[in-house]
Amino acid sequence: MSSPAIEVEGLTKEYLVGNLRRRRVQALNGLSLTVEPGVIYGLLGPNGAGKSTTIKILLNLVRPSSGKARVFGHEPSSVAARQHTGFLPENPAPYEYLTGREVVTLAAHLGGMSGSAVAPRVGQVLERVGMTGAADLQVRRYSKGMIQRVSLAQALVTEPKLLVLDEPTSGLDVLGRQLVRDIVLEERKRGTTVLFCSHIIPDVESLCDRVAVVIGGKLVREGTVVSLLKNDDALVEATVEGATPEVLAALQPQLKSVEALEGRHLLRFDQHHDHDVLTALLATRARITQLRRTQVTLEELFLKAVHESGQRVGSHIS
């Protein structure tokens, strides 16, 4: 059996901040998670939750205070851990004196590519991110969106097995965001594992197979998007025409609410009572014109998790 793409166990990180009056800030507090190969794994959390710190530990940019981290079975400090990894940092800053093509070429060489394969591959990824036309301009002349695109190209150039994207859609317009989504889905089709860290929850919800919600340096929710959004307390909403007052009165104990609309009623009831309520309605001359179960969104789930944790957003350093 192949080792997980990412394994994190009991990870902690403490920073010392301040110059004269040094104080400790706990960025990670015993975080554990596992990312299997080939999935798109979303990391969600408010500012300062520890998402970027986790990514930096995995990429050996920061050393953990305690705990274990493994990338394809290797410790982050070993070069082998980064052999098959592409990274797009939050607010990327490629060397501004280089052209876009040179940035991607440098990434290819540092990633171990050499010879005649480099130039065509660089051209290919630049085209994929829509930067062929501006590839030979210096980065200092790029807009934020162009920098984001070139930085994505340098992350992709070595055809990584693990793609780490920290706020990949930040600074991009609608077309750019769509491009990132398409690329992420293409990469999954290729078998790439994607660690997707974003504040844009609809992106996470629509792209990710599994999601971890990190708050205060701890994992507070983890699972597939479907399982996280599964809600045993969901309500059923039925729009009913011709429901008599007698039927409504009889169903009253099972209904959460009844709203009288023009010529119809909107009934809300617990999903455990759906069989009883619907059977009773169908037994009368009432007509059910619309029936739907209220769905919790990832955004609601995220806000609930933040609320439950008692964390104030931005109360930690990021």
Q: What does the binding site for another protein look like in residue numbers (CB under 8 A)? A: 15, 56, 59-63, 79-80, 82-83, 85, 87, 89, 91-95, 97-98, 102, 106-107, 109-112, 114, 118, 138, 151, 154, 164, 317
292 burial (CB, 10 Å; 0-12 / 13-18 / 19+) is exposed
Between 113 and 229, CB nearer to another protein: 113
Contact by Cβ (8 Å): 216, 49: yes
Between 132 and 138, CB nearer to another protein: 138
Instruction: Give the separation between CA 298 and CA 247, rounded to whole angstroms.
Output: 36
Instruction: Give the separation between CA 224 and CA 41, rounded to whole angstroms.
Output: 9
- Minimal distance, residue 208 CB to another protein, in Å: 22
**Which candidate, 163, 216, 171, places its Cα nearest to that of 51?**
216
Between 126 and 211, CB nearer to another protein: 126
Instruction: Give the separation between CA 134 and CA 125, rounded to whole angstroms.
Output: 13
- Minimal distance, residue 17 CB to another protein, in Å: 9
Between 214 and 286, CB nearer to another protein: 214
Contact by Cβ (8 Å): 246, 283: no
18 burial (CB, 10 Å; 0-12 / 13-18 / 19+) is exposed
Between 94 and 176, CB nearer to another protein: 94
- Minimal distance, residue 107 CB to another protein, in Å: 7
- Minimal distance, residue 48 CB to another protein, in Å: 12
- Minimal distance, residue 97 CB to another protein, in Å: 4
